[in-house]
Amino acid sequence: MNAFDPYDVLGVGRSARAAEVKLAYRRKVQVAHPDRGGDPELFILVVRAFGLLSDPDSRRLFDETGIVDDEAVKGYRREVATILADMFDAAVETAVATGLKLESVDFIAQMAAAVVTGLADARVTLNRTDNEIGALQTLRARIRRTDEDRNLFAERLDAQVALKTEQHRNIKRRVAMLETALAELGNYQSETELIAALEAEA
């Protein structure tokens, strides 16, 4: 069993839902942030704990085995950082193109709005993919042969279900990353603090 326990660090139970984890992270990270007089080592632990518990795959691995896959957690956080960096680039480009004074633009708010839009789109796609998988499985149940020979049509439907299931998994991961990105944005008052959190484990 690993000595690092993300649940203990954030002060939540093992059955805590994603919203509870985000709320606990928000409370802890604001107190621990070095720019606000917090302890840098505690800050890194809090960020690490949130990174592990916000990644569904890393959390499941920890829950089942007690193993912390730091590389997977770092990879997940890098993907979230990339999403936020892309949104930051888009917000800056928009501000420059419209002639706004960059020092007066609230980039955190701009990025949060873009994440909310992306999250809504991803959830719609996730729901649509759920429905498509259900429809394909219903059709698959109807496609039977009266003999024991190969069922080519059933095999084709199985392949389509497998493809849609993989798409569903990827979209679900995207939703989790966008939710993590939104939680990150909600915790910081400035781009400088946000960057410090995203780079805490780099």
Number of domains in the chain: 1
Residue 135 lies in a domain: yes
Residue 1 lies in a domain: no
79 Cβ neighbours under 8 A, 6+ residues apart: 177
In the prediction, which pLDDT does 88 show? 87
Residue 12 to residues 9, 15, 25, 201, Cα–Cα distance (Å):
8, 8, 10, 22
pLDDT digits (tens, 9 = 90+) for 53-67: 999 999 999 999 999
Whether residue 1 has pLDDT greater than 50: no
The encoded tokens of residue 75 equal 């990879």
Q: Which domain holds residue 64?
A: 6-198
Neighbours of 127 (CB within 10 A): 11
In the prediction, which pLDDT does 91 show? 87
Residue 27 lies in a domain: yes
pLDDT digits (tens, 9 = 90+) for 147-186: 889 999 999 999 999 999 999 999 999 999 999 888 888 8
In the prediction, which pLDDT does 58 show? 93
Q: Are 108 and 188 in contact (CB under 8 A)?
A: yes
Residue 88 lies in a domain: yes
Question: Quick check: helix, strand or coil at residue 85?
Answer: helix
Alpha helices in 1-151 (DSSP H): 6-10, 18-32, 40-54, 56-65, 70-97, 107-142
Q: Are 191 and 107 in contact (CB under 8 A)?
A: yes
Q: What is the dihedral of CA 92, 94, 98, 103, to 10 degrees?
A: -20
Residue 167 lies in a domain: yes
Q: Are 53 and 6 in contact (CB under 8 A)?
A: yes
Q: Are 171 and 126 in contact (CB under 8 A)?
A: yes
Question: Quick check: helix, strand or coil at residue 164?
Answer: helix
Lowest mean pLDDT among 26-30, 131-135, 153-157: 26-30
pLDDT digits (tens, 9 = 90+) for 64-116: 999 999 899 889 888 988 898 888 888 889 989 999 898 888 888 888 999 99
146 Cβ neighbours under 8 A, 6+ residues apart: none
Whether residue 2 has pLDDT greater than 50: no
The encoded tokens of residue 199 equal 């780079």
Whole-structure pTM value? 0.78
